Chain A
Amino acid sequence: QQQVKQSPQSLIVQKGGISIINCAYENTAFDYFPWYQQFPGKGPALLIAIRPDVSEKKEGRFTISFNKSAKQFSLHIMDSQPGDSATYFCAASMDSNYQLIWGAGTKLIIKP
């Protein structure tokens, strides 16, 4: 019940296309859902995060869509660029315990 399942494991998208990464969770007590971006040789960095009181959050080309009833959330990258090539992690937590439960990661490659 603590798991966060992330798909796909890897994704190749043409430059200018839309990249979509999906995550699903079981624990309805989760109330914080961040996405982290990791470039090779670097630590993950927070990209965007959402609370379940909203269904969508947009920051530039990055959008989180959240479906509370389906217990799913996804990251959409519009107009994908080669510089977006990285590994993306979704995560979830409950405010009360500060522990993030991480998805397995998606390696995204944007082809020029």
Chain B
Amino acid sequence: EAQVTQNPRYLITVTGKKLTVTCSQNMNHEYMSWYRQDPGLGLRQIYYSMNVEVTDKGDVPEGYKVSRKEKRNFPLILESPSPNQTSLYFCASSLSNIFPYEQYFGPGTRLTVT
């Protein structure tokens, strides 16, 4: 089944404790992206990657890191989480060069930082 998987689905952590949210897709998509979703703000892009070893900042990259060592994986790293990073996070992937440029989203990771 074609899908984007994220782990963990739920995470409660404390300020400053490094964490990684994994994202994997099995569709051989070049493009992958991380978003955070907050009430009233829609989805805001954190980082995106056009292909292996190519990453770029989105609209809200501060406090986050990513890497793209393999085509299928795109982990999101929070080196020192803070309470303002409490949010719902989504990973997405797409082929991106064929209309309608559909982005396939993972199920989400709900992160709480206390």
Contact = CB atoms under 8 A, between A and B. Distances in A.
Tell me if chain B binds chain A.
yes
Contact residue range for chain B? Answer: 20 to 34
Given A43-B92, A43-B107, A89 B100 contact: no
A104 B48 contact: no
A98 B48 contact: yes
Interface in B56-114: 58-59, 90, 92, 96, 99-108
**Chain A interface, >50% SS class:** loop
Interface in A35-86: 41-46, 49, 51
Given A99-B45, A103-B42, A41 B107 contact: yes
A99 B43 contact: no
Q: Which 10 A-B pairs have the closest CB atoms?
A: A43-B105, A102-B42, A49-B100, A46-B102, A102-B43, A104-B42, A43-B90, A44-B105, A105-B42, A98-B96
